[in-house]
Amino acid sequence: MGPCASSSDCAWVGSPADEEEDISTAHDKKLLDDLAAELPGSVLIGDDDVLAGIGHDEAEWAPVGKPLAAVRAVSADEVERVVRACARLAVPIVVRGAGTGLSGGANATDGCLVLDVSGMNRILEIDSENLLAVVEPGVVNNDLKAAVAQHGLWYPPDPASAPWSTIGGNVATNAGGLCCLKYGVTRDYVLGIEAVMGGPAGEYGTRVRLGRRTTKGVSGYDLTGLFVGSEGTFGVITRITLRLRPAPAADPRTVVGAFNGLVEAGAAVALCTRRGLQPAALELLDRSCMEAVEEWKHLGIEPGAAALLLARIDTPGDAGDTDARAVAEAFTDAGALWAEQSTDAVEAEALFEVRRLAYPALERLGPVLTEDICVPRSEVSSMLARIEEIGVRHGVRIATIAHAGDGNLHPLLITPPGDEVARRAAQAAFEELLEAAIAAGGTVTGEHGVGLLKRGGMERELGPEVCAIQRAVKDTLDPLHLFNPGKVTGDPQTHRPGR
């Protein structure tokens, strides 16, 4: 606004919106200056292009705010300083690891500080005698697997993003993966955590240690379990103590079954369950997924059926052969076109590689809206039928992959780039799939987390009473709503920090 002799002579140089933008910019600059003063040992990132790159995860169409700045933390001490400074200045904190999430849980909110902990990537301890490891949150899942394998040990949780995703992110979303059918999810392997918190823990920036190093322990509430799957809404995890297992027996068997359709494959899953069979993994992928991966990677996999089931049996010795034959028989009895044990280890691994590559392969075709519903195993077949019906009715192309053995289904809704009509149809189908999962006695998210995309679905699944309990826990542990505001429980305006 230019200088004026008097109010009657004064005229706006810009619109009121321009004036508000000027005020906002001045506010942001002051906050940045104040943050820099509070954090003399940290590098404060303010470049718009860099912030745009690290301000979101891979969730298609989840809203993204404009962060104020970012810090790439290198130690727990630095995290403490960042949390104290942000609390004093009322700047929200959104923690980021590798950014491989699929629900918008790591998406920036307006005026937040993005706290990137991917550089905190040290494996601090591998204790072979007690079967545990202690790691920082930025350690990549597969890097941990490789490190403990040198000691004859194994870390089982294996999301498809394991080559890139971090342990901190896996803990934040309670990630699962291919082996969770037999060996459990991330929560089953987290013994303890160190986190920087606020609220009843004391002043914001207080570091606390939750959990234990022992196999058993019931001293107080399970606060470690509360943190697992909390999506960064209670504090910043700076260290994780993980349970390990002895390395599995070598040479697992792979059984492949080909089916005319998804429903028939779902029936085979249910039959395996009824017969008490427990493969280490039981994965489903449809023809669209196979074609997309083959077009991209040329692995030599010919999609000759509408759907494949891949079972991995890791029972050692002759018992493994018996289990493999039993799984193949169940596939055949459920209507498989053919079912057989793979005798070629390279071919078997290629099939599981197709499963892991399905999501990035489909992303190449256009925006992909990823579902993460989970239903009781007895409902897998009928839920697969509902997925097909919903896709046809909305005119949306849906490719399906699944951790079929535990009922965790990933319908992938694919839309042409820039097609707004297709986008709205996909979003409508997405919400209807959530409703169908709830109606089947399932959940709206099995392993990706609530983030932003599933908040409404979570509220419908849990109901107002349980959601009120969750908000009360959030209010207690983070009364300022400083940590990842707006995620999971929502963000009441009365608690919103910052602008």
Query: Is residue 311 helix, strand or coil?
Result: strand
Phi-psi region of 491 (alpha: psi -120 to 50; beta: other; left: phi over 0): beta
Q: What is the pLDDT of residue 246?
A: 96
Residue type, 8: S
Strand order in the sheet with 206-211: 123-127, 132-135, 236-243, 190-197, 206-211
- What is the pLDDT, as a whole number, of residue 304? 82
Helices 76-89, 16-38: axis angle to 10 degrees equals: 140
Distances (CA, A) of 365 to 262, 393, 412, 424: 22, 21, 12, 18
Euclidean distance between CA atoms 55 and 222, whole angstroms: 32
Residue-level pLDDT at 136: 98
* pLDDT tens digits, one per residue of 448-475: 999 999 999 999 999 999 999 999 999 9
Q: Above pLDDT 90, what percent of the chain?
A: 81
Q: What dotted CATH number matches 37-116?
A: 3.30.43.10
**Residue 14 in this model has a pLDDT that exceeds 80:** no
> Which residue reads 């545990």 in tokens?
132
What would the mean pLDDT of 345-361 be, rounded to a whole number? Answer: 85
The residues facing 411 across adjacent strands are 400
Give mean pLDDT, residues 217-229.
96
pLDDT band at 23 (very low <50, low <70, confident <90, very high): low
pLDDT attached to residue 1:
33
Radius of gyration of the chain (CA): 24
Give the right CATH number for 123-246 from 3.40.50.300, 3.40.50.1370, 3.30.70.1450, 3.30.465.10.
3.30.465.10
- Which single residue is written with the structure tokens 């997309």? 292
**What b/e readout covers 2-13, taking b as 16+ CB neighbours within 10 angstroms?**
eeeeeeeeeeee
Confidence bin at 15 (pLDDT 50/70/90): very low
Which pair of structure tokens corresponds to residue 236?
């910043």
Encode pLDDT of 251-310 as tens digits: 789 999 999 999 999 999 999 999 999 999 999 999 999 999 989 988 777 778 999 999
Residue 166's pLDDT is what?
A: 98
Candidate from 60-64, 107-111, 127-131, 407-411 with smallest mean pLDDT: 60-64
pLDDT tens sequence across 94-141: 999 999 999 999 999 999 999 999 999 999 999 999 999 999 999 999
C-alpha 81, offset from chain centre: 27
Contacting residues for 92 by C-beta, under 8 A, at least 6 apart: 86, 109, 111, 112, 113, 481, 482, 483, 484, 485, 497, 498
pLDDT band at 26 (very low <50, low <70, confident <90, very high): confident
The answer to whether the beta carbons of residues 460 and 431 sit under 8 Å apart is no
Check residue 436 and give its pLDDT.
98
Q: Residue 342 — φ and ψ, nearest 5°? A: -75, 130
Q: What is the pLDDT of residue 301?
A: 75
Mean of the per-residue pLDDT values of the chain: 91
d(CA 28, CA 149): 48
- C-alpha distances (whole Å) from 321 to each of 231, 234, 317, 418, 495 are 41, 47, 7, 50, 59
Q: What does the pLDDT look like over 134-186, one tens digit per residue?
A: 999 999 999 999 999 999 999 999 998 999 999 999 999 999 999 999 999 99
Topology given in CATH for the domain delimited by 250-357 = Alpha-Beta Plaits (3.30.70)
Token output for 7: 């109010």
Residue 386 and residue 5: Cα distance in Å, rounded? 71
Does residue 326 carry a pLDDT above 60? yes
SS3 (DSSP) at 441:
coil
Cα three-residue angle 473-94-358, rounded to 5 degrees? 100
Contact criterion met (CB below 8 Å) for 111 and 134: no
93-96 and 113-116 as β-strands: parallel, antiparallel, unpaired? parallel
- The pLDDT, as a whole number, for residue 298 is 84
Q: Does 498 score more than 50 pLDDT?
A: no
What pLDDT shows up at residue 73?
Answer: 97
Torsion sign across C-alpha atoms 454, 456, 457, 459: positive
What does the alpha-carbon distance between residue 477 and residue 101 come to, in Å, rounded to a whole number? 24
Residues above pLDDT 70, as percent of the chain: 93
Name the band, by pLDDT with cuts 50, 70 and 90, for residue 352.
Answer: confident
- Residue in 311, 351, 315 with CA at minimum distance from that of residue 331: 311
Domain boundaries, the chain: 37-116, 123-246, 250-357
